[in-house]
Structure formats: structure tokens, C-alpha cells
């Protein structure tokens, strides 16, 4: 297919530079026609390292937002403004009938996101959330295995999105979000859990401060999601030693368990996951296995390729359920996230 013309609206999201680097890996799918540098115009809290990230935009035309929307033949926009400005920016794209890849999360409220997401679906325009595990091959394997019944009835999920990067300024940044680190990072895990188990019966947040951080920073968070049989425990703390490489996921079912640690890697070494099966299935015998997914080149590559196919009419949400999910899923994720962040109460 002819490369789609895409522009990036914003450089102030934490994932903006990484998203641009991912797009640049896909010249057969995307022609990058410009970027809007919103650093001088944004009013929302943001946390980027421009000295390390500026190179992601080398050689690209710098545009104003008005110039972006006036580009002839523009096919799509990657929305990469700060977290709390994502929904208004996305709505401006909708007003121009532009498909979008919008980074996480869906803003700090439920109804504006729900209306945006439903309006996109009603307009028949592709909309993709940038949750970072949608293209993760190990997590996609888990979702497929669960659907095929290989793990039996799932009764336990434990997951961590902790890290040890940032400094006092990072804690100040996280304090801008009512849900702290659960809002900023736990959203990725919630997106996966909702794909795995659907809507919970209850959501219970515990928002604490990591040692040394100011009260209200909420940099040490736990959320428990209650299901009819299963319990899900999600953690995110900014002070875990070697926390980034120790992010993990454990899932237990009546027929088998999986454990993934680290959750992702891009160092040229293979991503591996442990699997234990009580009984065999059509692909694997009972017992212990190490699943090797090989080296993974990029976090967003598969997800963005699915976005391109959707724009070209080559796929649908139902055909790519782990990568381009429908409005019902995205709205449920937002509802669970806000409850897990202590912003709203969850009503099943």
C-alpha cells in the first residue's frame, strides 16, 4: 500500500519521542509529514528530557497546529500532547475527520473520553489508544491461551509497573495527577487485564507516597480488582531498586500459570516467559516450559501497522482484538482506571 501521510501533534507526552522513533521504523506504512512542538504552548504538566528526545524529530518539518490541520492529503495524526490535554486535542482531530493514534490515558475524567470515543466510532474513523502492551507478543500469547482455555479458570493476576527512574521533579510531575503513578502507569496493566478478564465487580485503590516523596505525590500505589472468582493486584512504585527490569506479570489458572519478567525488553535478547501446565493441549505437553518470543525490535511497531491497516480498510477491531480495540473496551478501561486511581467510585 502507499505510505499514509501522518503528522504528530505534540512532543510533550512521555512517549512522544518513542512513538516518533517507532513511526520512523515503518517507512512503507507511514510518510511522516511534520510534527507540532507544543512545549511552548502546553499548560499541562509534562515530563520529558528534550536533550535526549530532540533527535527523534531530526529533519522533520516543524508545524503549528493550524499548519498540521491544513496539510493536503493528511491521513492520520499521532496525538502526543501531555496526558491531561489528550482528549481536547483528539477532539480537534475529530472535527477534521482525521483518524488518530492517541497516547495514554484517556484524560482525567470519564464522560469526555466516552463521548470522544463513541463519536469516533459513530463517524467510522479509526481510533487507537497507545497502551504499550497491546503489541507485546508474550501478553498476546496469554490472551490467546486464555481464550482457548489452556490456563483454565483464572483466579489470580499479579502485575507490577514499578521503576526507579526520575528524581524529585518526577515526583512533582506525578503529583499533578489525582491518581498518581497508578493513573500514569497502571493504565497499561488495566488495558491488558480488561482484555483478559473483562469488567471487574469492584475496584479498590490504595494510593501511598514512596519514601521521601511529598504527601500527595501518590508514587507508591496498589489497586485491587475484584472478579467473581479472580483477584487482580496491580502495583506501581517509583522507588523499586532496578524496578524497570523487574516489572512482572503472574497469572494463575486452574489448568496452568504463566510468569513474565521483565515485561518487555529491547536489548537484542529474547523476551521469555515461564509456563506451567497441569494438563497438555494441542500445542504443548503438561509440565514446565520456557516460551521464547525472540528479540523484539520495538514496542509499538505491530500496533502502528494495525492502525495503518485500519485506515486502509484492511482490518477491523474484531479482527485485531489485541491491537485495535473497540469503543466499549476503551471506555471500560477508562472507567476502571479512574476508579483504580481513586478519582471515581466503581459501579459495576
Pick the CATH number of 137-292 from 2.40.37.10, 3.30.360.10, 1.10.10.10, 3.40.50.300: 3.30.360.10
CB 248 within 8 A of CB 236: no
Q: Are 70 and 46 in contact (CB under 8 A)?
A: no
Reported as a single tens digit per residue, the pLDDT across 57-100 is 999 999 999 999 999 999 999 999 999 999 999 999 999 999 99
Is residue 273 a contact partner of residue 258, using CB atoms and an 8 Å limit?
yes
Q: Distance between CA 304 and CA 300 in Å, rounded?
A: 6
Q: Residue 149 corresponds to which cell in the numbers above?
A: 482455555
pLDDT, residue 251, reads 99
**Domain residue extents for the chain:** 4-103, 137-292
DSSP 54-117: GGGGTTPPEE-HHHHHT-TT--EEEE-S-GGGHHHHHHHHHHTT--EEE-S---S-SHHHHHHH
Residue 308's pLDDT is what?
Answer: 97
Question: d(Cα 28, Cα 276) in Å, to the nearest integer?
Answer: 40
Which of these, 170, 62, 103, 89, lies nearest to 304 by C-alpha position?
103
Burial of 274 (0-12, 13-18, 19+ CB in 10 A): middle
CB 65 within 8 A of CB 85: no
CA dihedral 66, 63, 116, 326 (to 10 degrees): 140
Q: What percentage of the chain carries pLDDT values higher than 90?
A: 89
Q: Cell for 158?
A: 499479579
Per-residue pLDDT, averaged over 165-181, amounts to 90
pLDDT of 320 reads: 45
Contact 202, 226 (CB under 8 A): yes
Among 176, 53, 173, 185, residue whose Cα is nearest residue 131: 185
- How many residues are there in the chain? 348
Q: Contact 6/24 with Cβ under 8 angstroms?
A: no
Compute the Cα dihedral for 87, 88, 89, 93 and give only its sign.
positive
| 216 and 175 Cβ atoms separated by less than 8 Å | yes
Task: Find cell 478478564 and name the residue.
Answer: 197
- The predicted pLDDT at position 318 comes to 47
Q: Say which residues have a Cβ less than 8 Å from residue 18's Cβ, sequence separation at least 6.
A: 56, 299, 300
Place of cell 520512523: 24
How confident is residue 315, by pLDDT bands cut at 50, 70 and 90?
confident
Q: pLDDT digits over 98-152, tens only?
A: 999 999 999 999 999 999 999 999 999 999 999 999 999 999 999 999 999 999 9
- Spell out the CATH class of 4-103: alpha beta
Residue 345: which residues within 8 A CB-CB, separation 6 or more?
339
**What is the per-residue pLDDT for 322?**
52
Domains 4-103 and 137-292 belong to one CATH topology: no
> Does position 214 have pLDDT exceeding 90, yes or no?
no
Instruction: Give the pLDDT band of residue 165 (cuts 50, 70, 90).
Output: confident
pLDDT tens track for 225-251: 999 999 999 999 999 999 999 999 999
Under a CB-based contact definition with an 8 Å cutoff, are residues 304 and 26 in contact? yes
Q: In this structure, are residues 151 and 253 in contact, taking their beta carbons and an 8 Å threshold?
A: yes
pLDDT (0 to 100) of residue 43? 87
Which residues share a beta bridge with 88? none
Amino acid at each position: 500500500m502507499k505510505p499514509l501521510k501522518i503528522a504528530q501533534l505534540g512532543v510533550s507526552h512521555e512517549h512522544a519521542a518513542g512513538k516518533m522513533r517507532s513511526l520512523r521504523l515503518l517507512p512503507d506504512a507511514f510518510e511522516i509529514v511534520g510534527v507540532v512542538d507544543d512545549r511552548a504552548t502546553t499548560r499541562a504538566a509534562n515530563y520529558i528530557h528534550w536533550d535526549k528526545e530532540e533527535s527523534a524529530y531530526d529533519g522533520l518539518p516543524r508545524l503549528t497546529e493550524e499548519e498540521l490541520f491544513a496539510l493536503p492529503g493528511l491521513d492520520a495524526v499521532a496525538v502526543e500532547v501531555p496526558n491531561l490535554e489528550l482528549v481536547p486535542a483528539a477532539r480537534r482531530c475529530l472535527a477534521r475527520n482525521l483518524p488518530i493514534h492517541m497516547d495514554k490515558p484517556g484524560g482525567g475524567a470519564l464522560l469526555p473520553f466516552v463521548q470522544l470515543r463513541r463519536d469516533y466510532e459513530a463517524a467510522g474513523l479509526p481510533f487507537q489508544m497507545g497502551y504499550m502492551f497491546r503489541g507485546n507478543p508474550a501478553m498476546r500469547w496469554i490472551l490467546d491461551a486464555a481464550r482457548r482455555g489452556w490456563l483454565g479458570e483464572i483466579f489470580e493476576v499479579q502485575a507490577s509497573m514499578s521503576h526507579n527512574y526520575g528524581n524529585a521533579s518526577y515526583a512533582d510531575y506525578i503529583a499533578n495527577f489525582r491518581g498518581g503513578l497508578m493513573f500514569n502507569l497502571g493504565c497499561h496493566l488495566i488495558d491488558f487485564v480488561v482484555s483478559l478478564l473483562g469488567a471487574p465487580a469492584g475496584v479498590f485503590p490504595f494510593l501511598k507516597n514512596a519514601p521521601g516523596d511529598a504527601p500527595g505525590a501518590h508514587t507508591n500505589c496498589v489497586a485491587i480488582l475484584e472478579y467473581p472468582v479472580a483477584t487482580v493486584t496491580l502495583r506501581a512504585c517509583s522507588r523499586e531498586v532496578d524496578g524497570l527490569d523487574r516489572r512482572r506479570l503472574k497469572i494463575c489458572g486452574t489448568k496452568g500459570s504463566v510468569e513474565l519478567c521483565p515485561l518487555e525488553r529491547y536489548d537484542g535478547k529474547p523476551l521469555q516467559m515461564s509456563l506451567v501446565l497441569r494438563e497438555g493441549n494441542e500445542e504443548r505437553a503438561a509440565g514446565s516450559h520456557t516460551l521464547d518470543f525472540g528479540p523484539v525490535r520495538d514496542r509499538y511497531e505491530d500496533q502502528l501497522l494495525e492502525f495503518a491497516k485500519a485506515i486502509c480498510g484492511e482490518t477491523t477491531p474484531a479482527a485485531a482484538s489485541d491491537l485495535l480495540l473497540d469503543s466499549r473496551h476503551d471506555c471500560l478501561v477508562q472507567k476502571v482506571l479512574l476508579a483504580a486511581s481513586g478519582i471515581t467510585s466503581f459501579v459495576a
